[in-house]
Amino acid sequence: MIYSRLMFVLAIASLGSAAAEEPAALTAVPFEKVHIDDRFWNPKIETNRTATIEANLHQCQVTGRIKNFAVAGKLTAGKHEGMLYNDSDVYKMIEGIAYALASRRDPQLERQTDAIIDQIAVAQQPDGYLDTYYTLVEPQKRWVNIQHGHELYCAGHLIEAAIAYQQATGKDKLLQVAQRLADHIDAVFGPDKRHDASGHEEIELALVKLWRATGERRYLDLARFFLDTRGSGQGRRLFGEYAQDHKPVRQQREVTGHAVRAMYLYAAMADVAATTGDRELLDSLDSIWRDVVDRKMYVTGGIGPSASNEGFTVPYDLPNDSAYAETCAAIGMALWNHRLLLMTGDGKYADVLEREVYNGLLSGVSLSGDRFFYVNPLGSKGGHHRVPWFDCSCCPTNIVRYIPGMGERAYATRGNELWTVLYMGGTADVKLDGGPLKVTQATRYPWDGHIELKLHPASEMTFDLKLRVPGWCHSATVSINGQKASLPEAKHGYLTVSRTWRGGDRVTLDLAMPVERVYADPHVKADVGRVALQRGPMVYCLEGTDNDGHVRNLCLPREAELTSVFQPDLLGGVAVLRGDALRVTEDDEGRHTEPVAFQAVPYFAWDNRAPGEMVVWLPEKPELAELPGQVGEQVGDVRVSASHCWTNDTLAALADGRLPAASSDQNLPRMSWWPHRGGDEWVAYRFEQPRKISSTAVYWFDDTGVGQCRLPESWRLLWLDGKEWKPVVLKAGQAYTTEPDRLNHVDFAPVTTRGLRLEIKLAPAFSAGILEWQTQSP
């Protein structure tokens, strides 16, 4: 695992072995059969679930997303507005509305949605084709730009929305539209038709859903065709690693490329594997899952550290301040892991699902329900905030469909077994082989590990109750009707209670929830010497607003005691963590510390109050603390600081040992002084112990044609002599060069120092950046 105790431990069992031990896949109890308490984990979430729907509905109206359908259907005059994939935002919003209506019918909201569906239906073309951008803007290019056109992606979201709306309301108008579009796609693509894969995966999992909803086998066959075609160069051009189209899916063993695309692909692979028992798909999924969870996932569940490809780079590349960790990617990770749980019955997948739901996914929406994160960093200097909407608003509309549908992640069944998945108060109507069963759950989870289930079978019934014990929990007890139960040891994260149940039987599960310290794998350079805090499934962060304005200059000694207190009036009601940290200051005599009390809040709730600093990973020693006004990151035993670093870049890139392909390489982390232009800047290394150094080399970043970073006008190197910076003495024939696409190397008279500093003069009107800065001893 990439993160270790004191935290959670995931069972290391393959998909293949787990599937072999279990006779059949689980079935999620449908969302329309589960009713969650208004509180859920935070009363504001339920209150503002409605606000989130209203915010998305309003934005889809004012940005022309809904009007596009009316224009395409010739109900009104106009032209297409917005991005070519904006249809998908409307579909995701309708899916979220469907889940909300299943929980609580709202006649006015339903009428509004029916009216939107009427416009969608009119926009459909006679042959079943439906995409407002290509209908209105480029009708001659239907199915031409499969790699970037998003037609299949939009179609997939329409199918998902249509199925959900029919299940929630019984109305099938949108489902008929979706089927006609699916039939059209089936007429265009297939083994004896056009060979191509989707540029942005989504259609594959949607077609499996459509097969399950209609019983039409050809939809499943078409989903398999799209999977089988991906990575195959027969009769088509491959889209590359970015779209997971570099090799056949059954041969893929590592996660690559765009994070959301990858998650939707793996969800579809899981769907097909669960249906067909395809061993090669299972083996591929198992290897990829290990790669993601063991080497490429943040402690918050966030995935995809890089902004340049909105996705993955190399193992253990997990910078904090510059983490991309797109909200949609967290949702995709949750969707994939829920499927893996249902396929295998292994609780390790529910652990990841839970980590996403309570942390890296939920952070994507404000407590007010109307502001959103696209990017979810694990550290901020105070400049990162949620906004009402984006030009590309896939994340707000994904949030609006995921949270209202939480009910289907509460329970699952298999034969005469009832499985708990995520704990949440509410009721569920379940059907087992032995008959119907009503389940009532009462809990304050995740703030409290006490969970009470009341079971009401229609008549006396014998069945197995499978109680999930999360991987982070090291002690769990079960009582039945007030009597402590002696049960076999948990298997794959589940305790089994087998008995004959009567109406009103009460089962109590108590999960110990101490505050835990989390440590990253030492390969994660950004987190060396640092600790994160977790209690139950919640990852915590420190915000400046709770801690005298600054948190990046705090360190948390390993021996510090930590406590948890529930605060009902804070952030809608959350458990906070408290303890004593050390605040670090610095003067000419060095660094000093003083004890200070601190408070940490759940990560999902940050940036809902006064703006300010935030950190998830706290240094355990003063040397790693960042002082106010200082821009710096610790990389191993090197402290990297600079006059400025753009918020989406990272100083850790300078010392990560990764050489770019060229100065224009957008696939590696970098640091830049953007948006500073012209003038003088600097970057420095500070070493924990003196080093003897005689040469240095700099690989400059230049994004000509894309951005405003150019090679600098000039630079020089200084070394720290006591408290004074002095220029190094270059050897004969050496010069400070600014050449592109290579390391610019200089040799100088050896110095023994605890610090080096590059001073850079930017080119007039341009910024600059560095991809790698190396030093060498004699």
Per-residue tokens: 36: 């969650």
Tell me which of 310, 326, 408, 772 is the catalytic residue. 310
Per-residue tokens: 318: 């997990």
Measured distance between the N- and C-terminal CA atoms of the chain, rounded to whole angstroms: 38
CA distances from 239 to 88, 134, 154, 200, 234 (A): 22, 21, 19, 10, 13
The span from the CA of 390 to the CA of 401, in Å, is 17
- Contact in structure between 363 and 376 (CB atoms under 8 Å): yes
DSSP string, 356-416: IIIIITGGGB-TTSS-B-SS--SEESS----BS--SS-HHHHHHHHHGGGGGGGSEEEETT
The residues near 629 (Cβ < 8 Å, ≥ 6 apart) are none
In 560-707, at which residue ranges do the beta strands (DSSP E only) sit?
562-567, 574-587, 590-602, 614-615, 618-619, 631-635, 638-642, 671-672, 680-701
- Contact in structure between 499 and 478 (CB atoms under 8 Å): no
- Please, where are the H alpha helices in 251-393? 259-276, 279-295, 327-344, 347-355
As to burial, measured by CB atoms within 10 angstroms (0-12 exposed, 13-18 middle, 19+ buried), residue 77 is exposed
The residues near 137 (Cβ < 8 Å, ≥ 6 apart) are 79, 80, 84
CA distances from 23 to 19, 187, 636 (A): 8, 37, 48
- Contact in structure between 394 and 89 (CB atoms under 8 Å): yes
CA distances from 753 to 102, 107, 272, 407, 692 (A): 67, 73, 60, 60, 7
Tell me which of 60, 154, 394, 395 is the catalytic residue. 394
Q: Does residue 154 carry a catalytic annotation?
A: no
Taking each helix axis from N to C end, the angle separating 394-402 and 43-62, rounded to the nearest 10 degrees, works out to 140
**H or E, element range at 302:** none
The span from the CA of 266 to the CA of 243, in Å, is 12
Q: Ramachandran region of residue 705, left (φ > 0), alpha (ψ -120 to 50) or beta?
A: left
- Contact in structure between 449 and 484 (CB atoms under 8 Å): no
Q: What is the DSSP letter of 762?
A: P
The span from the CA of 470 to the CA of 535, in Å, is 12
The span from the CA of 203 to the CA of 211, in Å, is 12
Q: Does residue 95 carry a catalytic annotation?
A: no
Angle at 371 between CA 365 and CA 375, to 5 degrees: 60
Q: Ramachandran region of residue 288, left (φ > 0), alpha (ψ -120 to 50) or beta?
A: alpha
- Contact in structure between 461 and 448 (CB atoms under 8 Å): no
- Contact in structure between 395 and 327 (CB atoms under 8 Å): yes
- Contact in structure between 334 and 353 (CB atoms under 8 Å): yes
User: What b/e string do you get for 663-687 counting C-beta neighbours within 10 Å, with b at 16 or more?
Assistant: bbbbebbbbbbbebbeeebbbbbbb
The span from the CA of 389 to the CA of 577, in Å, is 32
**H or E, element range at 19:** helix 15-21
- In this structure, the dihedral spanned by the alpha carbons of residues 129, 134, 138 and 144, taken in order and rounded to 10 degrees, is -70
Catalytic residues: 310, 394
